[in-house]
């Protein structure tokens, strides 16, 4: 299997104005500060290039697209590569990040890595009411993914990845901003069938088996607090203000310490997603049924991720939607 950093597509023609290819992860330094410094330039360069990139070929007529984003032949505006991108870093791993239907830009970010021994899946969801959340989500996801590509498979590594992601988000923010960027984080490191994970905010990680399913993360949100106090899930998640998050990455959060965990998984699907998907299928049993229904007709992990994103958009696509999956076998 090969590795793939976020937003670096498969087809060179799909990369528009950027020609940078996927590269091996940087070496882990002796400290978090050294690790952050070792990859800061690469992370920021990729983020800036992709945020300003459009497709190289016009989807309407196939003509070439000028640097200004418009087709030389028919004049149509080319779509931003940030609106929709797909990753397939390994045979059993895939992810799709999509703008959705209602939002004018994509503030989700997806990062994925796979090699012969491990899989890393990271999703960050930029808080739409904050400024620069699209950049914050991207640099946060990239930083966590880069670190976990070589880090030991333990909960300390997941905590450190979240700290690095938080630092990256803070560095992306104008210190004078009155509405500083913020983002969630859901990160999964899979080595064999051992999963180590972390989350901050309300992006989620699920395990979907043949006949059962579990939500492995607990949201940092008012709805989760209500559920913990005994309120029914459907009531809590539909209450006014229920989706307000109580922890996030960014300078305005007093405590961005992640919730972490580790467990052995049975064969099935590992699913990491933003609330653009789970808002329509929150309970583990509901998400499990959705995955199994689409698994029966999917041709690959990428096809499954595409189907889940398409389904979310068919429900209204009221938010950006990101889905990353890894298939666990015996």
pLDDT at 33 over 50: no
Q: What is the mean pLDDT of residues 188-197?
A: 97
Report yes or no on 41 lying in a domain. no
Q: Give me the residue label for tokens 């539909």.
A: 238
Quote the pTM value. 0.83
Does a structural domain hold residue 70?
no
Dihedral angle of Cα 11, 291, 192, 23, to the nearest 10 degrees: 20
Q: State the total domains in the chain.
A: 1
How many Å is the maximal CA-CA distance in the chain? 60
What is the spatial distance between Cα 140 and Cα 159, in angstroms, rounded to a whole number?
13
Least confident of 57-66, 88-97, 136-145, 301-310: 57-66
pLDDT at 45: 36
- Cα separation, 164 vs 142, whole angstroms: 10
pLDDT of residue 50 exceeding 70, the answer is: no
Q: What is the pLDDT of residue 53?
A: 57
Q: How distant is the alpha carbon of residue 113 from its chain centre?
A: 12
Question: Which range (19-23, 28-32, 209-213) has the least confidence?
Answer: 19-23
Instruction: Output the pLDDT for position 55.
Output: 65
Does 11 map to a domain? no
Q: What is the dihedral of CA 247, 249, 255, 257, to 10 degrees?
A: 90
Domain for residue 68, yes or no?
no
* Rounded-to-integer distance, Cα 283 and Cα 287, Å: 6
Please tell me the total number of residues recorded for the chain in this structure. Answer: 330
CA angle centred on 206, ends 205 and 208, rounded to 5°: 155
H or E, element range at 118: strand 118-125
Q: Is residue 215 part of a domain?
A: yes
* Runs of H (alpha helix) within the chain: 32-51, 133-148, 155-172, 222-228, 233-238, 275-278, 284-295, 301-314
Structural domain span for residue 239: 80-328
Whole-number mean pLDDT of the chain? 84
User: Radius of gyration of the chain from Cα atoms?
Assistant: 19
Strands 108-114 vs 118-125: parallel, antiparallel or unpaired:
antiparallel
Inform me whether the pLDDT recorded for 51 exceeds 70.
no
CA separation, residue 47 to residues 6, 111, 168, 171 (Å): 9, 12, 12, 13
Query: 284-318: per-residue pLDDT in tens?
Result: 999 999 999 999 888 899 999 999 999 999 999 99
> Which pLDDT value is given to residue 198?
98
- Window from 9-13, 70-74, 202-206 with minimum mean pLDDT: 9-13
26 falls in which pLDDT band (50, 70, 90)?
very low
Please state, in angstroms and as integers, the Cα–Cα distance from residue 145 to each residue in 24, 107, 138, 186, 266, following that order. 12, 17, 11, 11, 24
Burial class (CB in 10 A: 0-12, 13-18, 19+), 150: middle
Domain-located, residue 72? no
CATH number of the domain that residue 235 is part of: 3.60.40.10
60 part of a folded domain = no
* Within a domain: 289: yes
């Amino acid at each position: 299997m090969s590795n793939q950093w976020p937003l670096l597509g498969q087809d060179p023609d799909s990369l528009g104005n950027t020609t940078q290819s996927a590269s091996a992860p940087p070496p882990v330094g002796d400290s978090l500060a050294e690790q952050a410094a070792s990859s800061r330039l690469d992370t920021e360069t990729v983020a800036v290039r992709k945020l300003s990139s459009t497709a190289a070929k016009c989807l309407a007529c196939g003509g070439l697209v000028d640097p200004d984003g418009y087709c030389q032949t028919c004049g149509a505006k080319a779509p931003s590569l940030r609106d929709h991108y797909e990753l397939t870093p390994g045979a059993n791993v895939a992810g799709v990040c999509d703008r959705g239907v209602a939002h004018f830009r994509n503030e989700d970010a997806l990062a994925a890595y796979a090699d012969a021994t491990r899989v890393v899946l990271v999703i960050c969801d930029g808080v739409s009411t904050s400024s620069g959340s699209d950049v914050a989500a991207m640099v946060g996801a990239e930083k966590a993914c880069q670190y976990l590509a070589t880090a030991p498979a333990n909960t300390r590594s997941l905590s450190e990845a979240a700290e690095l992601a938080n630092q990256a988000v803070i560095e992306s923010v104008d210190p004078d901003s009155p509405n500083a960027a913020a983002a969630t984080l859901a990160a999964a490191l899979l080595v064999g069938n051992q999963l180590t994970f972390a989350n901050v905010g309300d992006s989620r990680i699920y395990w979907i088996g043949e006949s059962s399913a579990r939500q492995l993360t607990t949201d940092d949100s008012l709805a989760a607090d209500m559920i913990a106090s005994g309120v029914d899930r459907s009531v809590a998640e539909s209450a006014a203000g229920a989706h307000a998050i109580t922890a996030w990455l960014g300078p305005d959060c007093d405590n961005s310490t992640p919730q972490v965990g580790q467990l052995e998984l049975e064969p099935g699907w590992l699913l990491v997603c933003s609330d653009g998907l789970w808002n329509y299928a929150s309970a583990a049993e509901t998400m499990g049924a959705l995955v199994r229904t689409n698994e029966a007709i999917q041709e690959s992990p990428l096809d499954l991720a595409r189907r889940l994103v398409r389904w979310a958009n068919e429900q209204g696509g009221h938010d950006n939607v990101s889905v990353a999956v890894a298939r666990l076998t015996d």
